[in-house]
A and B are shown apart, each in its own frame.
Chain A
């Protein structure tokens, strides 16, 4: 039995890797986000020159150079007109992600900025994406056991929005790893580990401060007097060394950049919350509707509303929402990605409960119908869907009626469970097939 379980986990990781690796250097498109190159230039320049040099800083920089750096022939895509503004020392974000992708690019032979093609710099992101699947399963396992973990892992591995977003060189994709390790540390009351990983998160992006209220909530819940001290032992070295980094590179520029950052337009506006839930973005302007993410929001709100007590994962979700609303400037897709692992863990648990408990069977049917509908629509767009229309409407009608009327009849109950599981499998498979086929030609049709 143990071997079967390990085999299932390995299968999910392999499938997740395969989906992430398909067309990883083509979708999202070259130039969908110049941040991907900028992060890598930051790392490459730190390694080669000892100074962080990157692009399109928010402001406050004294050293600006304008150049056409035609990496991946981005200036031939017809999307970029003005030259790239290069700034140094670049302080928009801390350097850890840049060191990962820039370091990988350096080891792959990159020496100049034009060498950092997506073919090279997205490879570490694919690996980080697979590590995130493993951590989603581990975290779900710690909270709710094996099968909710497997369900969460399957959805996280195959959700089109997660798959595509995880390929991008964005700090949030690395933050996801740190956040899940911190939550694991906090769950196991390993305060020192949580502190050390928080240091790494702060070296990745300052929005990692979200973890502090989560830590304090957990410490208050456990009434462990030494917890805060142990946590701080882990955090302080990271903060001090980050301070040294900024001090050596130029503290004046650091303050000027942060002052400019603080003055940025609050462009997410008052629609931020509804847009966060209903509009799944890849970048600022590119959308990729994903039924799994919408369903996972429903599961998250469902558990918050139904449960009298909230747990550590709820606290993280709420704290990150608070930080998202506070910091938001533009609604770039990657700002929302740290929600997804936690939301999908809730969805995995929600679906699991729906399968094993007759009273909750509604919830699994409803949350699976959303991604199934999206997946079918993508694979069989109108008029091809006409052939499936009868199966779709009668199938759903029959299932809902059966659950409504016969859920408590034992013999029929097994049929309903089987049908519900088939519904889940169909939702996973349709979305996975579509994202596996997602190449540039399909990407242009996504909006």
Chain B
């Protein structure tokens, strides 16, 4: 005759409601630690891509989508800087009967030469640079070449060949 005995199984070490909950919590915090380490690692690794040169390239490079022009009087950046006493250089291009006034804040000037300023204006307005035949005066003085040094408050007038 065979006898069947029902044996209550021993609870597993992590079984039961509380055991499952503890396991979940352990998994949760373990996952969190792994996520933190991975995330911090990726951020620090990716941050090494940063350099001032790359940053300036992102800031200074004009978009390729901007329609470039040879006409130096088509666009102007004319408004005076908003901050009181903010120093600026004013450059006026004269193309026959048309003029374009550009006011450039001194805080943005990296090359304080006539060539540097004109190049900067060309970059902002989307004008092809260099342009041959520019004939410029700084505060009424004729400038022999475009290496003339500028200082804040200068007024430049350039005749542009048409």
Contact = CB atoms under 8 A, between A and B. Distances in A.
Interface of A: 44-45, 48-51, 53, 65-71, 73, 75-76, 78, 80-83, 86, 88, 111-115, 117, 233, 236-237, 240-241, 244-245, 247-249
Interface string B59-84: 11111111000000001111111110
B5 interface: no
B46 A50 contact: yes
B55 A88 contact: yes
11 contacts: A49-B51, A66-B105, A70-B77, A76-B125, A83-B81, A88-B55, A112-B58, A112-B61, A114-B66, A244-B40, A248-B43
B55 A49 contact: yes
Contacts of B63: 71, 112, 114-115, 117
A44 B50 CA distance: 13
Contacts of A80: 79
Contacts of A82: 81-83, 86, 105
Nearest to A245: B43
Interface stretch (B8-16, B31-39, B90-98, B138-146): B31-39
B126 A70 contact: yes
Contact of B48 (A50, A71, A236): A50
Given A65-B59, A76-B77, A236 B108 contact: no
Given A49-B50, A75-B77, A82-B81, A113 B58 contact: yes
Contacts, number: 116
A70 B43 contact: no
Given A65-B59, A113-B59, A73 B66 contact: yes
By size class, the interface of chain B is 35 or more
Contacts of B76: 76
Given A80-B79, A82-B82, A241-B39, A53 B28 contact: no
Contact of B32 (A114, A236, A245): A236
B57 A112 contact: yes
Nearest to A80: B79
B124 A70 contact: yes
A82 B63 CA distance: 20
B49 interface: yes
Given A78-B79, A80-B79, A249-B43, 13 more contacts: A45-B55, A51-B50, A66-B105, A67-B59, A70-B126, A76-B76, A78-B78, A82-B81, A82-B83, A83-B108, A114-B61, A236-B32, A248-B47
A78 B125 CA distance: 13
Interface in B92-120: 103-105, 107-108, 120
A233 B28 contact: yes
